[in-house]
């Protein structure tokens, strides 16, 4: 007895009733050609001709139009090479470069901020020096400090293209004279600040090190001393934090929890009289706001001008380029005076070739000239490898200090110790990798032993295996395609991660042979054996949020509370939705919505709603007559923000699962129970729950695994605030790998995560099996 | 005598919170009138039940954050207007101020998103990638799930566990090895085939688990009689099992589709040609560390969500039965 497949008529190509085959054909012609193109593209590999020069950049909008116009002009001007550009969105750019370049892939040259140069140059295989390809004349196009920004270890690695730094942007309706000193700035700002109505004299992303750099540099030398040694806890840096704390906590001239979005909104609504920001903000200032840009004032305490950090967008050369000379020629073209003028006039950029500012159209632009003037006091971000380690931890420290959770001095001492330790780890791996190149003999034993074991097993079991194969050939054939894919794309990365976790691989020794990086169980020992939950002594004693067991505790609380809440709420909603009710269809669609919309944006909306001053949650609390909560200041409140967001995101899945489960429960059971006089609660306990269990258990296992590894919500909403206390294991692993560049340590973390979840899954299936057996 | 399902809403109303004053008399009226006034009475009774209140409350919580996205997208601006409570206003006015509505409705964000970049082309690319992923993922998982469900063979339990394990290893750390395999070994960088392969395998574990559970619930007797009549395993699989499992296939297919539809990082790393980007990559152009065009991003997100929501609506009736029956013995 065979049931015919119902869609057979469609497959056989019979026309749908009521449609005219011929007209349909014509209408489908152009989609058909597009489809053909699609099929061709599907199988297209690299489309690189021999004389193509690939150029990656992150520009968009007007700057991108100007940039591509220049490249087009270059392609017209010569016949040797064709330049192809690729715009990469900011969020994936750094990852794309660090995936491609060290593996011999990627572009010939690329545009990127200069502050990663030291890391790339020390790691090798990512950028190539261009000293030999550049003549002295070309160097003189740029001011010395921008050339220095593009140099590391005595080599020049690229040409500066554009620069970006912050300056002071003033609402000229509110502030008539630009303040010349920080005392004037504070006095002016105080006149415009009123916390209760949400008005501030000054607004900027002061917790971000890039912005705080202006203060640090005006007191001293920034995060490094004159010899390039890490000096985060220098007197100057402490003073800079003390000044910022004064502005926030006693003068009240700055808003809480600043972000670039908040700063722009405040300025556009005339609630911020002055902001510190860069050229990137200009395009977002509302048309009806009169503003002017002026250089930052002088620091009244130190007598030196505030020196903002400048990010230099450089043109870098890939070490794998087959056309290095052509690439450098292109660099020379793009940084010529003519090109710089186009970038400035049409792209609204600040070109590193300063002759562009002599062009009458640029020279007459007060905004451009103000940023140009700011460059004289600005300091390029240090490009030491250690710099990349500083951003995230320094931001945490600044947040802690301005919230009054730590004193500037103690916090910076602590930070200095922590980053020195991270740095030492990286240095150690580099030193080791240089030392021994010969593969130790015992490593050969591993493959030999593996082969012997495999051969032994084969000898012993091969008759059984062969019989098993013959008996279940059908089954294995059905599974083979899926297993092949899994082996290739899941098992291999897993083994790779496992191997990596036994090494001391960091960004510096990634290219050394595996055996020279071998570190045995070191990573696991330092993760698992660190039982000291405290750090610091005496008054400075605090919980060490980087400790594995703290993070594990948070992760378990996170997973348990999420799954319990999601299951509970979904159960409640499913019970309400189970029987017909007015508007049931609509409710079902609405309640599933969070599943359909990319969680990236909804997570960010939730973060905005939890903003302590302008978020909808606190505003709602105030309407109800309750006190607002500082959501990201304490461990509990910050945990709550992530919890709410994630439950909101995960209820729909559970709801769908449970709704279906409820439907599969036979209705006559309830009727029988009713006849026997069982109440609703009793019915729920004795019928609904037990019969839901088989539906719930697989869903709960999957959702535990997913929640345990829920990266987006933690990263986007609370970002581990305060100070990494709310990081779960996966975000911690990410930070170790991508913010501290200790790849092997991150891999060991991942393996530990895997083991924990594996243990959980086995335990859960065993428990549910025993329960079933007992039933 | 009332039918059981007719009486239950009234009982639940009585068990729930007691409405007061005019509401009570209205409800009392509605309840009394229910059998005679029919539809209208039922609706009124529904509206005043605890179930309705709960659902309404939950829906409001679901919709509120989405309202921010919608209002931002239609505001024609790039950043959110901040909420600021009007001072000395009544409670109602203050609550009203909390509802995110743009000062004026404006489609400029949508037109800018659609015209200033090849957004429709990216949507088309995503559609091709996501549909191919669905197709490949489903064919791999259906056959594997069928084997797991209908054959007893050595390594069956371990195989199922292997699928689960693959969900446990943090995805962010698979990036480099995946790049090595797909781009360096297979040479599938800059082609959709690489993406489709990776996405199908990523969606595989969930699909196999759910489908296997659903296949388990299908009665074996049909297959036995077909076998007796001389049908091959393959025929049974394609002619009986697959048509019967359509609800589950629809749901797992939707899951595979979403896996491919929303993925950003791999797509941005593998693709070296802008005209080949998928739509999540295109969306991220609006967000950067310095300045983010949130208005464009919101408008783009809504455009991206529309196909998924349409799919949800189309598959709604499968959604409930497909997952549940699938999970019954998963």
Model confidence pLDDT, tens digit, residues B63-93 = 999 998 898 899 887 776 666 666 667 777 7
Nearest to A747 by CA among A496, A552, A520: A496
In the predicted structure, residue A47 carries a pLDDT above the cut 80:
no
B24 and B96 in a single domain? The answer is yes
Structure tokens at A768: 């549910």
B120 and B172 in a single domain? The answer is yes
**C-alpha count within 13 angstroms, C-beta hemisphere, residue A129:** 12
Which residue among A572, A601, A754 places its CB closest to the CB of B301?
Answer: A601
The confidence score (pLDDT) of residue B169 equals: 82
Domain A549-738 in CATH: superfamily? Answer: MetI-like (1.10.3720.10)
The confidence score (pLDDT) of residue A429 equals: 77
* B16 and chain A in contact, CB less than 8 A: no
The confidence score (pLDDT) of residue A540 equals: 63
Which residue among B290, B305, B327 places its CB closest to the CB of A597?
Answer: B305
Nearest to A388 by CA among A212, A551, A258, A507: A507
User: A489 vs B325: CB contact, 8 Å cut-off?
Assistant: no
Give the pLDDT band (50/70/90) at residue A38: low
Q: Report the DSSP pairing between strands A200-203 and A272-277.
A: parallel
Domain A167-307+389-428 in CATH: superfamily? Answer: Periplasmic binding protein-like II (3.40.190.10)
Residues of B in contact with A265 (CB under 8 A): 79-82
Please compute the mean of the pLDDT values over residues A467-481 and round it to a whole number: 84
Residues of B in contact with A600 (CB under 8 A): 264
B119 and B213 in a single domain? The answer is yes
End of a domain among B109, B136, B164?
B109
In the predicted structure, residue A31 carries a pLDDT above the cut 60:
no
Nearest CA in chain B to A482: B140
The confidence score (pLDDT) of residue B328 equals: 42
The confidence score (pLDDT) of residue B46 equals: 81
A548-578 vs A635-663: helix axis angle to the nearest 10? 40
Nearest to A146 by CA among A367, A342, A372, A391: A372
Å between A31 CA and nearest CA of chain B: 11
Give the pLDDT band (50/70/90) at residue A377: very high
CATH number of A52-162+312-363: 3.40.190.10
Name, in order, each residue with C-beta under 8 angstroms of B157's C-beta and a sequence gap of 6 or more: none
B282 and B168 in a single domain? The answer is yes
User: A488 vs B192: CB contact, 8 Å cut-off?
Assistant: no
Model confidence pLDDT, tens digit, residues B189-233 = 889 999 999 999 988 988 888 888 788 877 888 888 888 988 888
Place of tokens 């659902």: B55
Poorest-pLDDT segment among A4-13, A179-188, A586-595, B219-228: A4-13
The confidence score (pLDDT) of residue A28 equals: 42
- For every residue of A399-428, DSSP letters joined together read HHHHTTSS-HHHHHHHHHHHHHHHHHHHHH
Structure tokens at A406: 């730590």
User: B15 vs A105: CB contact, 8 Å cut-off?
Assistant: no
Nearest to B252 by CA among B117, B166, B143: B143
Portion of chain A with pLDDT greater than 90, in percent: 47
| Residue with the larger pLDDT of the pair B27 and A96 | A96
Structure tokens at A374: 């700011």
B35 and B179 in a single domain? The answer is no
SS3 A161: strand
Chain-wide mean pLDDT for chain A?
A: 86
* B106 and chain A in contact, CB less than 8 A: no
Cα(B114)–Cα(B128) distance, integer angstroms? 19
The confidence score (pLDDT) of residue A439 equals: 64
End of a domain among B60, B93, B109?
B109
Nearest CA in chain B to A481: B140
Cα(B105)–Cα(B103) distance, integer angstroms? 7
Most confidently predicted of A72-76, A477-481, B168-172, B311-315: A72-76
Give the single-character DSSP code of A438: S
User: How many domains is chain B partitioned into structurally?
Assistant: 2
| Residue with the larger pLDDT of the pair A658 and A48 | A658
Residues of A in contact with B284 (CB under 8 A): 89-92
Structure tokens at A232: 């985060």
What ranges do the domains of chain A cover? 52-162+312-363, 167-307+389-428, 549-738
Nearest to A163 by CA among A9, A263, A310, A272: A310
The residue among A482, A497, A574 with the most chain B CBs within 10 A of its CB, best to mutate, is A482
Please compute the mean of the pLDDT values over residues B99-123 and round it to a whole number: 88
The confidence score (pLDDT) of residue A43 equals: 53
The residue among B140, B320, B326 with the most chain A CBs within 10 A of its CB, best to mutate, is B320
Chain Cα centroid distance, residue B131: 15
Give me the residues of B, 248-307, that contact A with CB < 8 A: 262, 264-265, 268-269, 272-274, 276, 280-285, 287-294, 297-298, 301, 304-305
In the predicted structure, residue A505 carries a pLDDT above the cut 50:
yes
B199 and B292 in a single domain? The answer is yes
| Residue with the larger pLDDT of the pair A294 and A459 | A294
Radius of gyration from C-alpha coordinates of chain A: 31
Please compute the mean of the pLDDT values over residues A633-651 and round it to a whole number: 93
B130 and B90 in a single domain? The answer is no
User: B154 vs A750: CB contact, 8 Å cut-off?
Assistant: no
B29 and B123 in a single domain? The answer is no
* B49 and chain A in contact, CB less than 8 A: yes
* B230 and chain A in contact, CB less than 8 A: no
Residues of A in contact with B283 (CB under 8 A): 598
User: A601 vs B42: CB contact, 8 Å cut-off?
Assistant: no
Cα(B33)–Cα(A27) distance, integer angstroms? 56
The confidence score (pLDDT) of residue A160 equals: 96
Nearest to B64 by CA among A375, A422, A609, A378: A609
B79 and B122 in a single domain? The answer is no
Nearest CA in chain A to B274: A86
The residue among B97, B102, B173, B191 with the most chain A CBs within 10 A of its CB, best to mutate, is B173
Place of tokens 């750390």: B173
How distant, in Å, are the alpha carbons of A446, A455, A521 from that of A449?
5, 10, 20
Omega before B211 within 30 of 0, i.e. cis: no
In the predicted structure, residue A287 carries a pLDDT above the cut 80:
yes
Q: Are the CB atoms for B324 and A661 separated by under 8 Å? A: yes
B199 and B279 in a single domain? The answer is yes
Structure tokens at B46: 């529904």
* B53 and chain A in contact, CB less than 8 A: no
Angle at A51 between CA A50 and CA A56, to 5 degrees: 105
In the predicted structure, residue A773 carries a pLDDT above the cut 70:
no
B297 and B156 in a single domain? The answer is yes
Nearest to A440 by CA among A338, A347, A329, A519: A519
Residues of A in contact with B289 (CB under 8 A): 90
Residues of A in contact with B168 (CB under 8 A): 705, 708-709, 753-754, 757-758, 761
User: A479 vs B4: CB contact, 8 Å cut-off?
Assistant: no
SS3 B300: helix
* B21 and chain A in contact, CB less than 8 A: no
The confidence score (pLDDT) of residue A18 equals: 37
Query: One fold for both A52-162+312-363 and A167-307+389-428?
Result: yes
The confidence score (pLDDT) of residue B61 equals: 93
Which long-range contacts link A45-50 to residues 24+ away (Cβ below 8 Å)? A45/B187, A45/B188, A45/B189, A45/B190, A45/B191, A46/B187, A46/B189, A46/B190, A46/B272, A47/B190, A47/B273, A49/A82, A50/A322
Cα(A550)–Cα(A582) distance, integer angstroms? 48
Please compute the mean of the pLDDT values over residues B97-118 and round it to a whole number: 86
Cα(A64)–Cα(A59) distance, integer angstroms? 5
**C-alpha count within 13 angstroms, C-beta hemisphere, residue A242:** 12
In the predicted structure, residue A541 carries a pLDDT above the cut 90:
no
Model confidence pLDDT, tens digit, residues A582-623 = 888 888 888 988 988 888 888 888 988 898 878 889 888 888
User: B159 vs A483: CB contact, 8 Å cut-off?
Assistant: yes
Q: Are the CB atoms for A163 and A375 separated by under 8 Å? A: yes
* B317 and chain A in contact, CB less than 8 A: no
In the predicted structure, residue B20 carries a pLDDT above the cut 60:
no
In the predicted structure, residue B30 carries a pLDDT above the cut 50:
no
The confidence score (pLDDT) of residue A554 equals: 94
SS3 A468: helix
User: A701 vs B313: CB contact, 8 Å cut-off?
Assistant: no
User: B298 vs A483: CB contact, 8 Å cut-off?
Assistant: no
The confidence score (pLDDT) of residue B326 equals: 47
Model confidence pLDDT, tens digit, residues A317-366 = 999 999 999 999 999 999 999 999 999 999 999 999 999 999 999 999 99
End of a domain among B49, B84, B109?
B109
B44 lies in which domain range? 4-109
User: B65 vs A648: CB contact, 8 Å cut-off?
Assistant: yes
Cα(A2)–Cα(B284) distance, integer angstroms? 50
User: B78 vs A284: CB contact, 8 Å cut-off?
Assistant: yes
Most confidently predicted of A71-75, A457-461, A514-518, B114-118: A71-75
Cα(B265)–Cα(B175) distance, integer angstroms? 9
Residue A497: which H helix or E strand, with range? Answer: helix A492-500
In the predicted structure, residue B16 carries a pLDDT above the cut 80:
no
Give the pLDDT band (50/70/90) at residue A398: very high
In the predicted structure, residue A11 carries a pLDDT above the cut 60:
no
* B174 and chain A in contact, CB less than 8 A: yes
CATH number for the domain including B194?
A: 1.10.3720.10
B166 and B279 in a single domain? The answer is yes
* B3 and chain A in contact, CB less than 8 A: no
User: A579 vs B5: CB contact, 8 Å cut-off?
Assistant: yes
The confidence score (pLDDT) of residue A470 equals: 78
Nearest to B153 by CA among A455, A768, A454, A467: A467
């Amino acid at each position: 007895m065979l049931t015919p497949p119902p869609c057979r008529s469609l497959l056989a190509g019979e026309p749908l009733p009521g449609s005219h085959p011929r007209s349909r054909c014509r209408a489908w012609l152009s989609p058909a050609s597009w489809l053909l193109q699609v099929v061709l593209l599907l199988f297209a590999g690299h489309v690189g001709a021999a004389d193509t020069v690939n150029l990656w950049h992150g520009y968009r909008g007007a700057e991108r139009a100007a940039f591509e116009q220049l490249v087009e002009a270059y392609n017209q001007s010569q016949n040797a090479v064709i330049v192809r550009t690729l715009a990469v969105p900011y969020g994936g750019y750094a990852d794309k470069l660090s995936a491609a370049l060290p593996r011999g892939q990627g572009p010939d040259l690329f545009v990127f901020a200069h502050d990663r140069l030291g890391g790339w140059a020390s790691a090798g295989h990512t950028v190539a020096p261009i000293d030999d390809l550049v003549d002295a004349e070309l160097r003189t196009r740029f001011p010395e400090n921008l050339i220095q920004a593009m140099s590391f270890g005595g080599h020049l690695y690229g040409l500066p293209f554009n620069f970006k730094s912050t300056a002071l942007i003033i609402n000229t309706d509110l502030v008539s004279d630009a303040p010349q000193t920080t005392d004037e700035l504070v006095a002016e700002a105080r006149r415009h600040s009123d916390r209760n109505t949400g008005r501030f004299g000054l607004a900027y992303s002061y917790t971000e090190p890039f912005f705080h750099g202006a203060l640090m540099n005006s007191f001293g030398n920034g995060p490094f001393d004159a010899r390039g040694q890490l000096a985060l806890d220098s007197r100057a840096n402490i003073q800079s934090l003390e000044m910022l704390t004064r502005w926030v906590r006693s003068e009240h001239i700055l808003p809480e929890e600043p972000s670039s979005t908040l700063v722009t909104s405040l300025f556009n609504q005339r609630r911020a009289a002055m902001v510190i920001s860069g050229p990137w903000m200009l395009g977002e200032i509302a048309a009806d706001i009169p503003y002017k840009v002026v250089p930052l004032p002088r620091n009244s305490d130190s007598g030196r001008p505030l020196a903002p950090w400048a990010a230099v967008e450089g043109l870098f050369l890939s070490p794998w380029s087959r056309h290095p000379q052509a690439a450098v020629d292109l660099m020379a073209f793009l940084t010529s005076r003519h090109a710089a003028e186009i970038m400035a006039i049409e792209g609204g950029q600040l070109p590193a070739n300063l002759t562009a500012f002599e062009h009458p159209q640029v020279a007459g632009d007060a905004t451009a000239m103000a940023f140009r003037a700011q460059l004289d006091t600005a300091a390029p971000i240090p490009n030491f490898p250690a710099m990349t380690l500083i951003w995230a931890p320094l931001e945490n420290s600044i947040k802690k200090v301005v919230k009054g959770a730590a004193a500037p001095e103690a916090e910076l001492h602590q930070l200095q110790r922590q980053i020195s330790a991270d740095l030492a780890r990286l240095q150690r791996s580099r030193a080791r990798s240089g030392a021994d190149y010969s593969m130790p003999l015992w490593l050969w034993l591993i493959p030999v032993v593996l082969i012997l074991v495999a051969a032994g097993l084969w000898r012993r079991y091969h008759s059984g295996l062969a019989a098993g194969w013959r008996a279940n050939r059908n089954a294995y054939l059905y599974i083979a395609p899926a297993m092949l894919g899994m082996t290739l794309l899941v098992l291999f990365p897993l083994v790779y991660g496992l191997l990596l976790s036994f090494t001391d691989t960091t960004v510096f020794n990634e290219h050394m042979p595996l055996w020279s990086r071998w570190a045995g169980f070191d990573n696991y020992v330092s993760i698992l054996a660190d039982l000291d939950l405290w750090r610091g002594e005496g008054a400075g004693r605090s919980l060490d949020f980087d400790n594995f067991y703290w993070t594990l505790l948070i992760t378990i609380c996170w997973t348990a509370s999420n799954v319990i809440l999601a299951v509970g709420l979904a159960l409640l909603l499913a019970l309400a939705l189970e029987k017909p009710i007015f508007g049931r269809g609509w409710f079902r669609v609405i309640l599933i919505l969070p599943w359909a919309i990319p969680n990236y944006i909804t997570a960010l909306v939730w973060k905005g709603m939890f903003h302590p001053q302008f978020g909808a949650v606190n505003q709602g609390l105030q309407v109800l007559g309750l006190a607002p909560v500082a959501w990201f200041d304490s461990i509990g409140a910050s945990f709550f923000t992530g919890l709410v967001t994630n439950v909101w995101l995960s209820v729909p899945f559970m709801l769908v699962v449970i709704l279906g489960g409820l439907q599969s429960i036979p209705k006559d059971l309830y009727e029988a129970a009713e006849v026997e006089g069982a109440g609703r609660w009793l019915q729920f306990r004795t019928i609904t729950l037990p019969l839901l269990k088989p539906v719930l258990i697989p869903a709960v296992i999957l959702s535990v695994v997913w929640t345990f590894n829920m990266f987006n919500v933690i990263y986007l909403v609370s970002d581990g605030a305060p100070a990494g206390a709310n990081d779960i294991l996966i975000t911690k692993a990410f930070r170790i790998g991508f913010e501290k560049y200790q790849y092997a340590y991150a891999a060991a973390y991942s393996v530990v995560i895997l083991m924990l979840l594996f243990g959980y899954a086995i335990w859960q299936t065993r428990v549910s099996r025993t329960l079933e057996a007992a039933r | 005598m009332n039918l059981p399902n007719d009486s239950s809403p009234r009982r639940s109303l009585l068990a729930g919170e007691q409405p007061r004053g005019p509401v009570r008399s209205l409800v009392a009226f509605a309840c009394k009138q229910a059998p005679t006034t029919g539809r209208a009475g039922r609706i009124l009774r529904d509206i005043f039940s605890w179930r309705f209140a709960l659902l309404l409350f939950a829906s409001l919580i679901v919709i509120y954050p989405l309202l921010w996205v919608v209002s931002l997208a239609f505001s024609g601006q790039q950043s959110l207007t901040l909420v600021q409570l009007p001072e000395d206003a009544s409670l109602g006015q203050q609550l009203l101020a909390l509802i995110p509505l743009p000062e004026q409705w404006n489609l400029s964000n949508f037109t800018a998103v659609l015209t200033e970049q090849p957004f429709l082309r990216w949507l088309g690319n995503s559609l091709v990638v996501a549909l191919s992923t669905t197709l490949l993922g489903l064919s791999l998982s259906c056959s594997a799930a069928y084997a797991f469900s209908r054959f007893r063979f050595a390594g069956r339990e371990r195989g199922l566990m292997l699928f689960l394990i693959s969900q446990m290893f943090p995805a962010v750390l698979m990036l480099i090895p995946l790049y090595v395999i797909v781009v360096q070994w297979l040479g599938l960088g800059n082609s959709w085939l690489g993406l489709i392969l990776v996405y199908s395998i990523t969606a595989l574990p969930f699909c196999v688990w759910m489908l296997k559970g659903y296949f388990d619930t299908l009665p074996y007797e049909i297959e036995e009689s077909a076998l007796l009549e001389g049908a091959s395993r393959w025929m049974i699989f394609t002619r009986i099992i697959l048509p019967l499992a359509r609800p589950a296939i629809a749901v797992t297919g939707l899951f595979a589709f979403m896996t491919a539809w929303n993925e950003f990082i791999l797509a941005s790393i593998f693709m070296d040609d802008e005209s080949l980007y998928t739509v999540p990559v295109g969306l991220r152009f609006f967000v950067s560390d310095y300045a983010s065009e949130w208005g464009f991003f919101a408008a783009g997100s809504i455009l991206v969500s529309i196909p998924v929501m349409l799919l949800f609506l189309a598959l709604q009736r499968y959604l409930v039965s497909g997952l549940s029956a699938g999970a019954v013995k998963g």
